[in-house]
Structure 1
Amino acid sequence: MRLESPRNPRVKNWSELKDRKGRDRQGLFLVEGRREVERALAAGLEPSAWLVWPERAGEEEKKLLAGAPVYELSEAAMRKVSYRENPPTLIGVFKRTAHRLADLPARPRRVLVAVEIEKPGNLGAMLRSADASGADAVLLVGDAVDPENPNVIRASTGAVFFLPLAVAGHEEALDWLRRSGLDLLAATPAAGEVYWRADMSGPLAIAVGAEDRGLPELWLATAAQRVRIPMEGAADSLNVSVSAALLLYEALRQQSG
C-alpha cells in the first residue's frame, strides 16, 4: 500500500482536526495512541478511519484496526496530523459527540462543574480525577476548552470517554443543577469556610473556575456554600485540577459515611 504523504488532501483534512474549528467543521476528532484508542472503543465510540505509522505498528495496534478504512501514513504525514511532539503509531478518527445536558444522569450524587476552564491539560487532569473519584457527571460551562481537544484526551488518559459530560451556558447549567436537586458548592480563596468543614454529604455540585479569574460572581452568588482550600506557603493559588481533586475526594469521603 502506498503511504499517504503530507501533501495528500486527506492528510491536510486530518491535520485540521487538531484545531477546534476543524473539528467543528468536519464533525470529527482525533484519538492518539493505543491506550486512548482502546478506551474510546471500550466506551462504544465508532471509528471513521484509522491512521497508522506502518514501520512502527505492532500486533497490538493491528488488532484494533477494524470497523473503518485504514490509511498508512509516512513519518512526515504522521507528524503533520499528530498533536504530539513524538507522534504515536496509531491515530483513530472518530465522530464528534453532542455532549448534551439531556444525556446526563437524572439524579446524580456528585457532579463536577468546570467553569470557563481554558487549558486542555488542566481539564484533562480534572476529568481523570472526576472519573477516579466516582463523579456521576461533569459540566463544562461557558467559554471552556473543547473536551475533544487531543491534549484533553491525553491528559485524561481516556477517562473523558467514560464520564457523562455536557457543555452548557451559565444559566442553562445552573437551571439543570436546580432541577437535578443538587446543592452548589463554590470554591473560592475568599471564602471563610475551609473545605473539609463544609457539609458535602448530600447530592452536590462542585464548581471550580479558571485559576486567573476564579468563579464568576453569578456562581458565587448562587452557591449554597463557598469554601476555600488553605494555602500555607508563598503561592497564592493552586492548580485548578488539584483543587477539583481535593474537593471531589472530600465529597466522596463524606458521602461514603
Structure 2
Amino acid sequence: MRKYISSNNNPLIKHLLLLQKKSKLRKKHNEFIIEGAQELRFAIEANYTLKQVLVCLDIFDNEISLENLDSEVLEVSKTVFDKIAYRSSTGGIMAIASSPELTLEKLKFDTKSPLILVAEAPEKPGNIGALLRTCDAACLDAVIIANPRTDLFNPNIIRSSVGTIFTNTIATGTTSEIIDYLKKNNIQIFAAALQDSSSYLDESFKESTAIVLGTEHEGLSETWRAEAHKIVKIPMEGKVDSLNVSVSAAILIFEAKRQRLNI
C-alpha cells in the first residue's frame, strides 16, 4: 500500500516546494523537480535517478506505468498536488530526481564527426529551453553550456524545454575548459559573431564541429573569437543586425545538418 499525503505541511511537500524555488537548495541536495508526464518519461528513458514520484490519482492520466518505476511512489491529494504543481497540465505526476554530473569528461559520441552547440553564458530560461528544443529537433551530439549563469534544472528551463533537457546530452564548463576539450578532441570551432566574419553559407560544417553562440546582449567573448577556426555570421537584409539566440542556433545547426546529409 502506497503512502498517502494529504497535508501541505508534510515535510516532503515543504522540501519539494523549496527545491522548486531555491537553486542553492537544489545544489546542496543534488536534487531537482521533474513535473509532467512527458518530461518524466523523457527523464526515465535517459536513465535519470528518481528518488520519489508523487502522483495524484484524481487527475493522473496513466501515461506512465507506476508499477514499473524503480523508485518510491507516493499518492497525494488533489489539494496537495494543486499546491506543488508548477503548471496546470502535468498529467497528475511529478518527481524528485537526483542531479547528474554534467562534466565534459562524461561526453561520449557515437560518431567520428560530432556536431555540438556551445552556448556561452545563457541566462534566460526561455532562451535556454528554446535552444534545447532546437538541439533535440536536430539530434545534436551534445550541448555544452559555457560559464552557466542559471541552474539548468530550474523548473522554468525544464518547462520551456518541454523535457528536452533530458533528451539532449549536456555538459557544462568554463570557456577555457571547453576550448581545451574541443582542441584536444580535434573539434573545429565556428564562432558566431559579426566582427571579422564570413557568411555561414561559405563554410563547411562536415567535420567535427562546435557552433558557438553568445547572448543577444553581450555576444561572444573575445576568447572564443580568438580561438575560433572560423568566425561566421548570418547575413541580414533588414535594419537589425541580430536574431534571437535560439533562432540563430537553428539556422546554423540545420545548415550543418543539411551539409551532412550525404556524408
| Structure 2 length-normalised TM | 0.88
1:71 maps to 74
Check the 8 A contact 2:197/2:230 in 1, yes or no: no
Superposition map of 1:170-189 within 5 A: 170-189=175-194
Offset of residue 146 of structure 1 = 2.4
Superposition map of 1:15-94 within 5 A: 15-18=17-20, 19-61=22-64, 63=66, 66-84=69-87, 88-94=91-97
Offset of residue 192 of structure 1 = 3.7
Check the 8 A contact 2:66/2:73 in 1, yes or no: no
Superposition map of 1:135-214 within 5 A: 135-214=140-219
Count, aligned residues = 257
Distance in 2, Cα, partners of 1:45 & 1:212: 34
1:5 pairs with one of 4, 7, 11: 7
Offset of residue 199 of structure 1 = 2.3
Check the 8 A contact 2:102/2:171 in 1, yes or no: yes
Cα-to-partner distance string for 1:138-188 (whole Å, 9 max, x where unaligned): 111103322222222233232222322111011111100001101110111
Identity of aligned residues (%): 34
Check the 8 A contact 1:108/1:136 in 2, yes or no: no
Aligned pair 1:243/2:248, yes or no?
A: yes
How large is the Cα RMSD of the aligned pairs? 2.1
Structure 2 spans left out of the alignment, 5+ residues: none
Superposition map of 1:228-239 within 5 A: 228-239=233-244
Distance in 2, Cα, partners of 1:30 & 1:151: 11
1:129 maps to 134
Structure 1 spans left out of the alignment, 5+ residues: none
Check the 8 A contact 1:78/1:87 in 2, yes or no: no
Aligned partner letter, 2:118? V
SS at match of 1:60: coil
Offset of residue 108 of structure 1 = 4.7
Offset of residue 236 of structure 1 = 4.1
1:221 maps to 226
Distance in 1, Cα, partners of 2:13 & 2:258: 48
Cα-to-partner distance string for 1:17-57 (whole Å, 9 max, x where unaligned): 22321211121111111111111111122311111223211
Change (3 A) 1:64 1:159: farther
| Structure 1 length-normalised TM | 0.90
Superposition map of 1:79-118 within 5 A: 79-84=82-87, 88-105=91-108, 107-118=112-123
